[in-house]
Structure 1
Amino acid sequence: MYYIALKRPSASDNSRQADIVPLKDGIKALLKAYRLQGKLNEVFVVSSWERIMGKAVALKTQEIYISNGKLFVRLSSAPLKHELVMAKTRVMELINDEVGETVIKEVIFL
């Protein structure tokens, strides 16, 4: 396990004390401080599309992007598009379960 030292100000302004925290916790704190967790989750969804939906769907996917909590997917197959439109909520559940939190609020197939 990796650890990093975070410097936090103590009670007096002149002295500082180093606290040792796991690297994982340090990265989480950094993502939270810079408000990057949401964007990181969006990138994770796009990069995991093939693993989540399968190779057959990924091959028919032309474009995928996220804007304001909405996942936009452009497909090259009309029958596949119709089938996925009917299963929109299931697709949304699969994606959010993969991330571990609600990243996608709506799925739009183009």
Structure 2
Amino acid sequence: MLKKNAQPIATILSEFFDENPELKTSVAEHRAVSAWRELLGEGVSHYTKNVYFRRNVLHVQLSSSVLRAELIMNKRNLIDKLNEHAGMEIVKDIVFR
């Protein structure tokens, strides 16, 4: 049986998120936090203690000062990659502690 109003799920979700920008932002924030471990790999994840997102700033707690210094030098590139993975420009800054 064919439905007259059949649409792809991607179209329906896109319309839903366009109607609910707060939810779209919340999903993008979650993607940015989860992308930290995915994009930087197992080596950096080993030294990462805590990652959370607050007011467009990603806070990352690290146990290695050497790694912290290297990540600070690559901060702009990391922000770009995280925003690309999140699907929108959600990360404005990263604070390393």
TM-score between both structures, scaled by the size of structure 1: 0.75
- Is 1:30 the counterpart of 2:30 in the alignment? no
Between the aligned residues of both structures, percent identity stands at: 26
Give the AA of the match of 2:28.
Answer: N
1:47: how far off?
1.6
Using CA pairs under 8 Å that are at least 6 residues apart, name the structure with larger relative contact order, 1 or 2. 2
The structure with the largest alpha-carbon Rg is 1
**Partner residue of 1:11?**
none
1:22: how far off?
1.7
The CA distance in 1 between the partners of 2:28 and 2:7, in whole Å, is 23
Which sections of structure 1, spanning at least 5 residues, go unmatched? 6-17
* 1:1-110 correspondence runs (5 A): 19-35=5-21, 36-110=23-97
Root-mean-square deviation (CA, aligned residues, Å) is 1.7
User: Is the strand fraction higher in 1 or 2?
Assistant: 1
User: Is the helix fraction higher in 1 or 2?
Assistant: 2
How many pairs are equivalent?
94
1:62: how far off?
0.6
Post-superposition Cα deviations, 1:26-83, rounded to whole Å, max 9, x if no partner, equal: 1122222232111101111212222211111111111111111111101111111111
TM-score between both structures, scaled by the size of structure 2: 0.84
